[in-house]
Structure formats: C-alpha cells, structure tokens
Amino acid sequence: MISKKIGENTYIFRLERNAEIMASLEEIGSLFEGVCKISAIGAGIDPELGFFNGSGYIWKEFEGEFEIISLEGSITRFEGKSIPHIHVVLGTETFSTIGGHLKKMIVNPTLEIFVEVFDEDVIRKHDSLTNLNLLDL
C-alpha cells in the first residue's frame, strides 16, 4: 500500500494487485483518530456483496474480473476496532452493473482510494431493533 498526503486532512492510497480491499481499509482506518470518508475507483476480482433486506444481509459471491465504478463509505470504530462500511457498484465485461454492501474483494490490478479524515471519531453501537451496528451520534 502506497500513500500520499494531498491536503490538510486528505490522503490518497494506492493498493496493489492481490490486496484484500476490506482488510486494507481496516488498516487505513487504524492510521487515523477521526472518522474517515472513503471514495475509490479501480478494479478487482471475486467480490462478495450483500443486500440488506430489512432484517439481515443476503450475501452472494461473484467470480471473475470487475471494474470498480464507485466505492463509497466510511470507516468508524466498533468495540475499539476500525470498521469500514462500504458500498460498491461494479461493472462487468458486458457493461452491466451489480452493487451492494462490500464484504470482500481482491484488487486486480489496482485501487485508488481517497480518504478524508475528520477531526472527531465516531463509534458504532449495536442496535437491537435493527440488529445493526449503527452510528452513535
């Protein structure tokens, strides 16, 4: 992972081939004290995506190469650990798209990640009504 500071609270990271995206985002989140806003483009293989149906996630694995058209989200904390919450839209070789909550994906060949770091940290707390770890604001 290569990075450069490009603004007062803004950074750019480049992930190399075979990096696991969510693990890399957890590592990026651990570098900063505040909540992070994430935006990225690139390409990867073999994603696992989720769809929240109101009571839980439906997970589906996809095989093959995909263009990462849009990857957006945040990195906050839950029980002291950096937690990326990422949604993604992926393009296929037939120019169709799929999208959802990103659980895992391998970079192939690269991913450009823009990170905006805010002054305050935000934690998540488990909400028993939704069974989700929601922002504690």
Q: Say what the pTM is.
A: 0.94
Question: What pLDDT is stored for residue 55 in this prediction?
Answer: 86
Q: Is residue 131 part of a domain?
A: no
Q: Is residue 31 part of a domain?
A: yes
Note whether 23 and 83 are within 8 A (CB). no
Question: What pLDDT is stored for residue 14 in this prediction?
Answer: 98
Q: Is residue 124 part of a domain?
A: no
Q: Is residue 126 part of a domain?
A: no
Count of the separate structural domains present in the chain: 1
Q: What is the pLDDT along the chain (137 residues), one digit of tens a residue?
A: 999 999 999 999 999 999 999 999 999 999 999 999 999 999 999 999 999 998 899 999 999 999 999 999 999 999 999 999 999 999 999 999 999 999 999 999 999 999 999 999 999 999 999 989 999 99
CATH number of the structural domain spanning residue 29 = 3.30.1330.80
The token pair that represents 105 in the structure block = 């994906």
Query: Mapping DSSP to helix (H, G, I), strand (E, B) and coil, where does residue 128 land?
Result: coil
Element (H or E) spanning 1, and its range? none
- DSSP E strands in the chain: the ranges are 2-7, 10-16, 36-52, 57-61, 65-78, 81-91, 97-117, 124-127, 132-135
The predicted-structure confidence for 105-134, as pLDDT tens digits, reads as follows 999 999 999 999 999 999 999 999 998 999
**Where does residue 31 rank: exposed (0-12), middle (13-18), buried (19+ CB within 10 A)?**
middle
CA separation for the pair 33, 118 (Å, rounded): 8
Q: Is residue 9 part of a domain?
A: yes
Nearest to 42 by CA among 60, 30, 25, 59: 25
Domain that holds residue 44: 2-118
